[in-house]
Every structure is written in structure tokens, then in C-alpha cells.
Structure 1
Amino acid sequence: MLTSIFPNKDLTDEQEQVLNDILEFTRQGLQSKQKSVFQLNGDAGTGKSVILTQLFLKLETFAKQNQNDNYFLVNHPELLKVYQENAGEFPQLRKNRFLRPTSFINRLHKIGKKADVVVIDEAHLLLSESDHYNNFMQQNQLEEIIKLSKVVILVFDARQVLKLKSFWSDQRLAQVIPKNIRFKTATLKAQMRMQAPVKIIKWIDDLTDDLQLDKLNQINSDYLSSDADYDFRIYKDAEKMYQDLRAKNNEIGESRIVATADYPSTLDGKKHYVNEGKFHLPWDQYNYSKVTWAQKPETINEIGSIYTVQGFDLNYVAVIIGPSIVHDGTDKIRIDVSKYEDQEAFKNRHENDIEKLEEAKRRIILNSMNVLLKRGIKGCFVYFHDQQIFQNLKR
């Protein structure tokens, strides 16, 4: 589940071309008097992080010859652990160059220096407003990083925006990136994580983009499924889905159950449970260890969240889609924002900065579904709290 962001993974022709384009862009940027920004776009599972890890390995190899000052940033504590762990496997890499964005910004302001190249994974997680609780005092993390760097390489996916305080869109991104700089973009198209046909990717995208419930072909007593090679199932019963997932985990490993943030959970040291009929399992706990949640064998007995598994690969993922997703009486769903329990995701101190606030909240919920549904390499199991959705698909 972690090899996808290991620096020596083989690249596809598409990825190799993009990597070479970024390297040439960076080489020219280091020689230019202008600041440079390269934006790499792509859906979840298209291999953006694969390119970044190989890019940074090459940059750090060159840095020893050219004395360049490079950093790799990611605003995701679980992913940061993986990058720092991987750094220990390669003598060219330095663990202290892998940082959270706030740490980087505060460090460089303190020492009064600027970086040569800064690589940002999951740039859609950067804060787009100040957050004093997390020691970010400026107004926008990307804006600060550009000020403190000569060349910035960032990965961006608008479908993975999960909080209002890090609310990004293509338009908002364009407003932050200065007009008088060298700027280039590339977009990865091929789905590399999910070994799924186009029809399954389309089913997920139609659901999370257009609220559309596409039909499935096969029906048995326990679930609806597709006739494709990819193991995609919609379950009527959450407990049955979980037991089938455990069987897959025993068979091939690296399989976990996750849920949308529609069930109460508080970081108070106590266990909080997701209950769906006979299904009864606790949310994941805050992970203080250096081992990621997804790597721990015992977490088959917990439910992962969007914050736990974003950016990770699983062989199989089982997704519980909670009460905020409601059948609308036709072949579509609707979003009930009031039932979404992760109100922290909706905290925003500058609400006037985001037009159509309620639509932004609905988009955050749909984004979280899209990310969760695209974790599984070999298969994805889905359960909807609203049983009318299952019945609609069955008809």
C-alpha cells in the first residue's frame, strides 16, 4: 500500500514524459531571474506522488553537486511519515527536508533564507487562510511558499479538497499564483491505482460529480456487483460487507474499512463507534506512532477516515457512506449537509471569501466520497446508510 510513492517505482510513458518536462522546467527555473511554478494535475490514483518522489530524488542528487536548498512538503501527517521513512532508504535523501508546510514557512522566516526548489504533494491540503491554532500566521500557505522559493512544483486535485480552511479551486489557485512568473501545467489522465475498467471509474465519478446513480449488472442475495474484472460491490448489509472484507484481508492483506464523516467522533482518547444494524466498529484513534494507520495489521478492527487513508493504496477498500447521502426519489442522490458530523471541515473564519458557501460544503462531502471510493487496487465494497439507494440500484 506504500510502494506507489517509493522513489524507484517504474514509471509509465506518460509519467516519464511529465517527469522529464518538470526536470527541464526546474533546470531553466534555477537559471532564470523569475520565480517558477509548475502545476501537476490529476485525479486520485493517476500517479502524481510517484512522479514527485522520483523528481525529488533526482533534485537531491543534483543538490549535492550544486549546493541547492530543496524541500518536500505535504500537509498530511500520515503521508509525511511515509516520505520520511522512505528517505532513510536512499543516501541522497535527507529526512529533515520533508516537512509540513507550516514548519517550512516558519523555519525559513526565522533564518531569513529562501529555498531553491520546493516540491508540494497534495497542494489541495494547503491552508488558504490563517490558522493560529496550527501556528500559521500568514494568510495563504501557497502564497508564502512561492515567496520563499525560486521554483515550486505542486500537485493539485480539486476533487480532494476536504476543508473550508483549505478550500481550493482552479480559479482560486490562479488568483494566488503571480502573473509575472514562469508557469506551466501538466495533467495525468491514466488511472494507475485502481485495476478497474472505465465503467467503474465512471460510476464513481457520476456519483460524486453529478449525484447520478448508474445501474449495475449483476444481483445476488447479498450485494449488487459489476460484471467487470474489478471487484466492485454495493452491499445491503454493512456487517456482511465487513466480513467479506476481512476474508479478503486474510487472503491478500492490505484491506481496510473506511467511512464518510457522518458518525460522531471526538479526539478525547475514548472510542467512538459507527453503528449500522449489526455492524459495530470503532473509529480509528489518533496515531502517535511512526507507523502509519494503514500499515498496522490490527487496524482491520477499526474504521479509517478520510484523514487516515487519503493518498494511500489498499488492495481492497470497504466504504460506509453515511446519513448525509440521501436518495432523492429518482436515479440521483442529494446531500444533507446538516447530517455531516465533521463540522471542523466547515470551520472558516473568512466565509465571505468563498462564494456559494453551502455548495462548497456539499462539494467537500462529495470529494471525501470520491477519495474513499478510489483507494482500492483490486476491489471496492460500498454500503449506503440510506437503504433507498440500494433498492433503487436493485430495481
Structure 2
Amino acid sequence: MSHLVSNAATDKISPTLPLTTDQKRLVDQILAFTTAHVNETGPAVFTVYGDAGTGKSVILAHLFNQLQTASRTRPDSPLAKTTNYFLVNHPEILKVYREIAGKEPHLLKKDFQRPTSLINQLAKGITTADVLVIDEAHLLLSQPDHYNNFYGENQLSSLLAAAKVIILVFDETQVLRMKSFWTEKRLEHLLAHYPHQHVRLTHQFRMQASDELVAWINDFTHSQVRPLPQSVGAQYDLRIFNDAEQMRRAIVTKNNQVGLSRVVSTSGYPSTLDGGKHYITEGHFHLPWDQYNYTSTPWAELPQTIDEVGSIYTCQGFDLNYVGLILGPPLTLSPQNQLEVHLDRYTDVEAFKRRADITDAQELTAIKKQLILNSVNVLMKRGVKGLYIYAHDAHLRQYLGAKAH
């Protein structure tokens, strides 16, 4: 699949994008499932599994556009006058979908909601829900979060109690926080008693990288460090840097050429959402972390963010053209070339909130380490055209075959 250079995140998941034959067939399959169950007492669930970059969001965008078009313009459809919502528990992605809604005749900005907002509206009887489409369902809260006004036990359970049909996409390798801790096994256990279908997407659409490089990333983010593959893709630019500032300059050059190119980092540096600036310093490299983005424009589309460092919270779900990734202090390589994850060096305090249902210390440690590796997986798969890497740990840089760029 060819990629056009674009400076707008909306162009990456617009319902006007052409679908492949297989993608169109899947949209039709989900629509048939939806119409078969929408007049039942419900709920019925359709799950789309797939790694980052396998086209999950563009499928949902097409699907929801067709749902709302049928609801609002086709009185003879089983979907006529149904009340449907598109949910995503990620403020930056929500901005993109609402921007898309402003361009489509049968989509309204209010159709797109955060799960907590809709759950609270449903509980108060302000609205009802027939069909719910959930993007990034691995971000749904799976325990109470009173700070964010969610008082239930599990957001998906709350939504199942209200809707007739739920369509969701899920990737357990993008689970990033304990309060939204999921696995495929936990999801399947919750859905076992409902009418349910699922499909698994495997083809990589985002990255113009070779299958070998995608497999290398998947192995790396499961603690299996191997030498980089010889073949990374004829149209893909992979570089390992000895110097973070040199990497930043290379990303700036790419941003000037094609746009949507940014430096991002794992946690492990000073970071507090207190309104002040907190910096990442690596030698001559010295830039502030992104803070909460209060504008309606996605972080990566703001011109000034070329002078910031992005995180999983601003970049998850987004396509960048080129991404420069800093692997921070929590990730080191042992003398035996084993990847080590240091929980005490992770500075994202929100990630590891306590869970009453996970009490085994060994299991808890393993989960926390995998959450950190999941964040690496998310960030490594942002770039359509290229991935640049700088590792804080000198041995890891050396092992990855760093050349002077």
C-alpha cells in the first residue's frame, strides 16, 4: 500500500480513504453483524484484534460513517434512527475524529465521546445507546478511577449494560497503564457470555518497513534483543544514533521536507503535569516534554511541537512520517546482551497505580515491565517512512550497531 505525504492526522483515518478489498469485506461483515443484532435486547460484540498499524482505525472510521449515514438518511434500514456513538479514551485521537466529523455530512462532533462521559450520561438517562464503536479498547479503564469521574468497576462492563451492539478494536501490546490493564484472555473471559464474533488483522499498513523489521520490533518489545535485520524495507529509513542532538536535527530536516516528523521518548525523565516545563537532557540534546495539549489541534500537527519531545500520551494511535525515539534510562542491556527493564527508573507515576485484583508480587513485576515494553512498541511503530533511535544506555546503543549520523 502506498502512502501519500500528509501533514494532517485526519487524512490518515478519514472515512474517505480508499479501502482494500479485504478491508471493505470486513466493514460489510461488521455491518451485517450489527444489523442482525441491533433489534435484540443485546448486547452482541464484534472484536477486531490487530497490532499497531494494521488499519484498525480506518476500518472503524468507514464503519461508523456508514452506520450514521444509515441511521440519519435511510428510513428503511434496520439502523434507521438508532442512537450510536464512537468512543475513544484518548483525548488527542478524539480531537482527530471530531475534526473528521466536521467534514462529513452525516457525522456530528457529539457522536464522538470519551467513554467516561458517555457512561455518566447513560447513567443519568440523558441519552441511550444502540451501537457503540470503540477505538483503542485496550485503553478502557478496568478499575475505578475517581479522579476521572469513573465510579464503575470496568468501563466495558458498564457499556455492555447499556448497548445493543458493541464493535471494538483491541491490541494487548498497547496496554500502557495498570488502571486500564487488559489481556486478550481477560477480554475474552468478559465477553464469553455474549453473542460474539472476532477477526484478527495481521497486514502492516502504517510502516513501509519490511516484515523482518516489524518482527524485530515485536521481539524487542518482548525482551528478545537480536541484531537489527539486514532488510528493513526499500522505502524505509532506519537509523541508530550515537548522539540525541544529531537525531533531533535529522528529524527537523525530515519535518521541513515532508512534515509530521517528531522526537518522542519513553518515560524515565523528570515528568509532572504541574504546568511547568520538564526537560529531557542527553548530552547536547535539551528539550521539554510535551505537556497536556489544551488546543483542539492534535499535538503532532502543532508547528511548535518540533521543539518538544512527545510521549505515548500524545502519539498513541497517530501516524507520523518520521519518528525519532529516545529509549530512556529504564531500558539497559546487560553484559550478556539481555534487555533489562528497571522499574525504579520509570517516572510515569500514573502507569503503576495499585490494583486490588493483582496481589502476586512476581506477577505484578512482570506486568509492570511489560507495560514499559508496550510503550516502546507503541512509539517504535509511529513512523510511516522512518524510525530513528537513540538509546540512553551506551551498551544498548553499541549493540544496536550505532553509526555516527
Interval containing the TM-score (normalised by the shorter chain): over 0.9
Tell whether the 8 Å contact from 2:138 to 2:182 is kept in structure 1 after alignment.
yes
**1:243 counterpart residue number:** 249
Q: Which residue of 1 aligns with 2:260?
A: 254
Which shows bigger deviation, 347-356 or 26-35? 347-356
**Alignment-derived partner of residue 51 in structure 2:** 43
**1:298 corresponds to which of 296, 304, 320:** 304
1:236-277 deviation line (CA, Å, top 9, x unaligned)? 111111111111111111100000011111111111100111
- Distance in 2 between the 1:193 and 1:169 partners? 23
CA offset at residue 362 of structure 1? 0.6
Residues 2-81 of structure 1: matches in 2 within 5 Å?
Answer: 2=9, 3-64=11-72, 65=75, 66-81=80-95
The CA deviation at 1:174 is 1.8
8 Å CA contact 2:280, 2:288 repeated in 1: yes
Q: Which residue of 2 aligns with 1:131?
A: 145
Name the counterpart of 1:202.
215
3-state SS in 1 of match to 2:28 = helix
Instruction: Give the AA of the match of 2:273.
Output: L
Task: Give the secondary-structure state (helix, strand or coil) at the position aligned to 1:68.
Answer: coil
The runs of 5 or more residues in structure 2 that have no matched partner are 1-7
Quote how far apart the aligned CAs of 1:357 are: 0.6
* Contact 2:268–2:347 (8 Å) recurs in 1: yes
Match status 1:89 vs 2:103: yes
- The TM-score with structure 1 as length reference comes to 0.94
SS at match of 2:400: helix
User: Residues 343 and 392 of structure 1: is their aligned pair in 2 closer, same or farther, counting only changes over 3 Å?
Assistant: same
Match of 1:168, SS state, is: coil
Q: Please report how far the alpha carbon of residue 332 of structure 1 lies from its aligned counterpart in structure 2 after TM superposition.
A: 3.0
Amino acid in the other structure paired with 1:71? Y
Q: In structure 2, what is the Cα distance between the partners aligned to 1:52 and 1:348?
A: 33
Deviation string, structure 1 residues 266-319 (Cα, Å, up to 9, x no partner) = 111111100111111111122111111111111000000100000111110000
Residue in 2 aligned with 1:357? 364
- Corresponding residue SS for 2:317: coil
TM-score, normalised via structure 2 length: 0.92
Once residues 39 and 400 of structure 2 are traced to their aligned partners in structure 1, the CA distance between those partners, rounded to angstroms, is 57
State which of 314, 320, 330 in structure 2 corresponds to 1:314.
Answer: 320
**1:202-229 deviation line (CA, Å, top 9, x unaligned):** 2211110243132355xxxxxxx95743
Please state whether the residue corresponding to 1:394 is helix, strand or coil: coil
- Structure 1 CA distance for aligned equivalents of residues 401 and 369 of structure 2: 26
Residues 376-391 of structure 1: pairs in structure 2 closer than 5 A = 376-391=383-398
Deviation of 1:178 (Å): 4.7
- Give the distance between the partners of 1:42 and 1:293, measured in 2 at CA: 25
Q: Does 1:328 align with 2:334?
A: yes
Q: Which amino acid aligns with 2:56?
A: K
Among 235, 239, 253, which residue is 1:233 paired with?
Answer: 239
Deviates more, 1:272-281 or 1:340-349: 340-349
- Measured in 1, the distance between the counterparts of 2:233 and 2:378 equals 23
Is the 2:212–2:229 contact (alpha carbons within 8 Å) kept by the matching residues of 1?
no
Corresponding position: 1:186 with 2:199: yes
Map 1:361-380; keep pairs closer than 5 Å. Answer: 361-380=368-387
Identity of aligned residues (%): 49
Residue 113 of structure 1 deviates from its aligned partner by 5.4
Aligned AA for 1:202? A
- Contact kept in structure 1, 2:39 and 2:164, CA below 8 Å: no
- How far 1:343 moved relative to its partner? 1.9
Distance in 1 separating the partners of 2:289 and 2:366:
28
Residues 258-269 of structure 1 aligned to structure 2 (within 5 Å) = 258-269=264-275
SS in 1 for 2:141: coil
Equivalents in 2 of 1:34, 1:302: separation in Å? Answer: 46
1:82 maps to a residue whose letter is V
Q: Give 1:53's aligned amino acid.
A: A
The alpha-carbon deviation at position 394 of structure 1 amounts to 2.9
Q: Which residue of the other structure, out of 331, 347, 353, is the alignment partner of 1:347?
A: 353
Per-residue Cα deviation, 1:356-379 (whole angstroms, up to 9, x for no partner) = 111110110000000000000110
SS at match of 2:276: coil
C-alpha distance after superposition, 1:177-203 (max 9, x if no partner): 251x21000111110000111121122
Write the distance in 2 (CA, Å) between the matches of 1:266 and 1:390.
27
In 2, Cα distance between the equivalents of 1:285 and 1:85? Answer: 21
Return the alpha-carbon distance in structure 1 between the equivalents of residues 128 and 60 of structure 2. 21
Which residue identity does 2:324 align to in structure 1?
Answer: A
Opposite residue 18 of structure 2, the aligned amino acid is: D
> How far apart are residue 338 of structure 1 and its match?
1.0
Q: How many aligned residue pairs are there?
A: 387
> Superposition RMSD on alpha carbons, in Å?
1.7
